Chains A and B, each alone.
Chain A
Amino acid sequence: MSFYGLVDGTEASLKKYLGSLSGVDQVGADARAAMLATRSIKTTSKRWAIDTAITMVDLTTLEGADTPGKVKALCTKAVRPDPTDSTVPSVGAVCVYNDMVEIARTHLDLIGGQHVGVAAVSTAFPSGRASMVVKIQDTKDAVEAGASEIDMVIDRGAFLSGRYIEVFDEIVQIREVCGTKAHLKVIFETGELVTYDNVRKASFLAMAAGADFIKTSTGKVAPAATAPVVLVMLEAVRDFYAMTQVRIGVKPAGGIRNTKDAIKQLVLVNETAGPEWLKPSLFRIGASALLNDLLMQRMKMDDGYYASPQYVTID
């Protein structure tokens, strides 16, 4: 593999590459994210943002209590989020555990949801604490069961102890397992990496190793997709594009629960990476509760009043 010509696979070249990155000033990044949160998105632009956000949702269920019934219900919702309004677009994908992939894929295909992807969390999600053999098998299983997207976690322990080459090699190996069948999203668990310097470093590491998407969090650790963390990742994909002419996607996940939060994310994308990233192939939002709030706000814009929550289906 060429790694875009940025590294040659050796630890020395990786260290040099990561060492060339400029730092992130926390106060400045927080201030910029806070300023962008003041954007006021109204009327036609709000309507456009709501529909765009719906197409970007990775509708997620990652519970120990997940059953085939629950996953099928989620798939139905993913294809037709509002059964009474056919103008509501489908979401980007459903996101499930490894053993639910086949059920999800089969059911989606059955109900006309061929265009909705199935994302599987992988590599001993959420902790990533397993041997490489297990992580590879975990991913293989999911791909063979029909996952079109793999959401892998990085080994935060290795990252925090400075063994960047191990993190890099893991991503490279999982990338190989995905092959051409599945897109690879790399989850950093930014709540555990803590500093924005680490987030920037992890972003560049994952992109060079072959990630198609970089993703903030598992949803199991707080804080998750905070605005400044997403800002730093969007700056990273923008800069990576300037270096390689390749656009890498970004997926915030965890903590984005309502329309206001989602629109703030779209504003961050628009004014940081740029409008080229405002599509589901380059920006996704990992969420479960968010979709219903988007639907409620969409109905409100059409009807002029807030409907009872009973008009929005539970999944």
Chain B
Amino acid sequence: MEEKLSFEYAPAPESRALVSIKAKYGHFIGGKFVAGSKHFPTINPATEEVLSHISLAGKADVDAAVKAARKAYTTTWSKMSGKERGKYLFRIARIMQERSREFAVLETLDNGKPIRESRDVDVPLAAAHFFYHAGWADKLEYAGLGTTPKAHGVAGQIIPWNFPLLMLAWKVAPALAAGNTVVLKPAETTSLTALLFAEVCQQAELPAGVVNIVTGDGSTGALIVNHPGIDKIAFTGSTEVGKIIARAVAPTNKSVTLELGGKAANILFEDAAIDESVEGIVNGIFFNQGHVCCAGSRLILQESIADEVIEKLKNRMAKIRVGDPMDKNTDLGAINSKEQLLKIRELSAAGDSEGAQRWSAPCELPGKGFWFAPTIFTGVTQAHRIAREEIFGPVLSILTFRTPQEAIDKANNTPFGLSAGIWSEKGSKVLWASQQLRAGVIWANTFNKFDPTSPFGGYKESGWGREGGRHGLSAYLKGVSHE
């Protein structure tokens, strides 16, 4: 046999035939799909193909949704026992698992993330959130939140485009378990899995109006935030919009939780396991194209091992498979929107002009769609924009440090505080560093690990309140602390 050295992986595409996408969608209000008036296209960011047309909800639609949610809360959901509510949540979780391939394919088409991630991370975790909170529904009295915790009523929930279905699960599952009804708005560019979830609600025979889904852009979000019939606002998205929401709800009685941006430090000490740390850096910033609020976007690297680590990181990045998100072997998919791509380009150009050194993995990017090669900047300092602003893309800023205290100081020197990573084989150092870092989630020798039992949320401008675990549950109950 002729000796051939390259092992090219033939295309291994997941089947698109698993999903049927309608040409046009309305809203899901009071247990029924209702027609919308104005529509805008939603596209596959990997190909720019128009997938469908989504309704832009106006005042009348949001009013109808809030009214349906109120009615369901008053007549049905608030009167139902926790045990009965739990049954619905378990049913939803099971149906999501049964239809997991459908959800994964649809998520990948609409969002641009690799099918491997939607299949192995987003969808299983979303189902896990429903399973976990289903268990809480009949145990609220024993959650240590007082003897008779009460639901808020109607929750308005606004979610981002980076993990559309998973963020829906983070919002809807605890709200329902705690006894609230919801009006949820998916992000403008990624509404399809939320609309498929509405079908699941019908399939589970969830009482009409318990879950209402209105689609639209920021204007629809504003209608929800400012609606007088809503008791609680939960938002995940940018710090900029989070501040607007905080101002809007300040003079009202609404409760609010915000899960906002981040500029997480991934601190790599010289005594770390190098190969696994390199994996962790890659997972930290290139997972989901870097569209992760808790992404490890700043590598704070001990100077004594900087050359070795950067060399290994480049070698590893050269092996990242960028391309068709529907291919099962793809590691890095498409940037979710043109707008986001332009933002990533703008900040990267700022990195160049401010004197940082750019290196991108040598990969071929598809001609159509929105793409950005995995990129690192070396020679970055605290004073660079790319060390301070959230890029929300596959771009890593590498800073170096000399002493452990310097690493901590640099890591904390940011208005954000969502997550942080520590890499060291020395347990005492890991414990010390984790106590110094001002961030809501701290991973040691791993990164971007999520679990419904673990509270998630930020310090400082990264957010208010927590999601997940008992802490997250408390945000959907009245008269108890959110921390």
Number of A-B contacts (CB under 8 A): 78
The verdict on B329 contacting chain A, using a C-beta distance below 8 Å, is yes
Contact B276 A45, beta carbon cutoff 8 Å: no
| Size of the chain A interface, CB-CB below 8 angstroms | 33
Contact A29 B319, beta carbon cutoff 8 Å: no
Contact A25 B8, beta carbon cutoff 8 Å: no
Q: Pick the contact of B275 from A38, A52, A235, A276 — CB < 8 Å?
A: A235
Which B residues are in CB contact (< 8 Å) with A31? 279, 446
The verdict on A313 contacting chain B, using a C-beta distance below 8 Å, is no
Contact A29 B7, beta carbon cutoff 8 Å: no
Contact A45 B275, beta carbon cutoff 8 Å: no
Chain B residue at minimal CB-CB distance from A269? B7
Contact A24 B275, beta carbon cutoff 8 Å: yes
Q: Pick the contact of A42 from B12, B279, B446 — CB < 8 Å?
A: B12
Assuming A41-B10, A270-B7, what are 10 further A-B pairs, CB within 8 angstroms?
Answer: A25-B276, A28-B273, A28-B277, A39-B9, A39-B329, A44-B8, A49-B7, A266-B7, A278-B5, A279-B3
* Contact A45:B8 (CB < 8 A) given known A27-B446, A28-B446: yes
Within 8 A of B (CB), among A37-83: 38-46, 48-49, 51-52, 55
Contact B328 A38, beta carbon cutoff 8 Å: yes
Q: Pick the contact of B5 from A22, A39, A43, A275 — CB < 8 Å?
A: A275
* Contact A45:B7 (CB < 8 A) given known A24-B273, A28-B446, A40-B329: yes
Contact A51 B273, beta carbon cutoff 8 Å: no
The verdict on B200 contacting chain A, using a C-beta distance below 8 Å, is no
Hey, which bits of chain A sit against chain B, CB under 8 A? Answer: 22-25, 27-29, 31-32, 38-46, 48-49, 51-52, 55, 89, 235, 266-267, 270-271, 275-276, 278-279
Which A residues are in CB contact (< 8 Å) with B1? 51-52, 55, 89
The verdict on B138 contacting chain A, using a C-beta distance below 8 Å, is no
Q: Pick the contact of B445 from A25, A42, A270 — CB < 8 Å?
A: A25
Against A, the Cβ 8 Å flags (1 = close, 0 = not) of B1-44 are 10111111111100000000000000000000000000000000
Within 8 A of A (CB), among B282-296: none
User: CA A156 – CA B154 in complex, angstroms?
Assistant: 66
Q: Pick the contact of A22 from B12, B275, B319, B328 — CB < 8 Å?
A: B275
User: CA A15 – CA B302 in complex, angstroms?
Assistant: 25
Minimal beta-carbon separation of A255 from chain B (angstroms): 22
* Contact A28:B276 (CB < 8 A) given known A23-B425, A271-B319: yes
User: CA A112 – CA B6 in complex, angstroms?
Assistant: 29
User: CA A89 – CA B425 in complex, angstroms?
Assistant: 46
Contact A45 B10, beta carbon cutoff 8 Å: yes
Contact B446 A278, beta carbon cutoff 8 Å: no
Within 8 A of A (CB), among B446-478: 446
27 residue pairs A–B, Cβ–Cβ below 8 Å: A22-B273, A23-B425, A27-B445, A28-B275, A28-B276, A32-B279, A38-B116, A38-B120, A38-B328, A39-B9, A39-B329, A40-B328, A40-B329, A41-B10, A45-B7, A45-B8, A45-B10, A46-B10, A49-B7, A52-B4, A52-B7, A266-B7, A267-B7, A275-B5, A275-B7, A278-B7, A279-B3
User: CA A52 – CA B7 in complex, angstroms?
Assistant: 10
Within 8 A of A (CB), among B248-286: 271-277, 279-280
Chain A residue at minimal CB-CB distance from B8? A45
Interface centre among B273, B275, B280, B328 (most CB of A within 10 A): B275
Chain B residue at minimal CB-CB distance from A32? B279
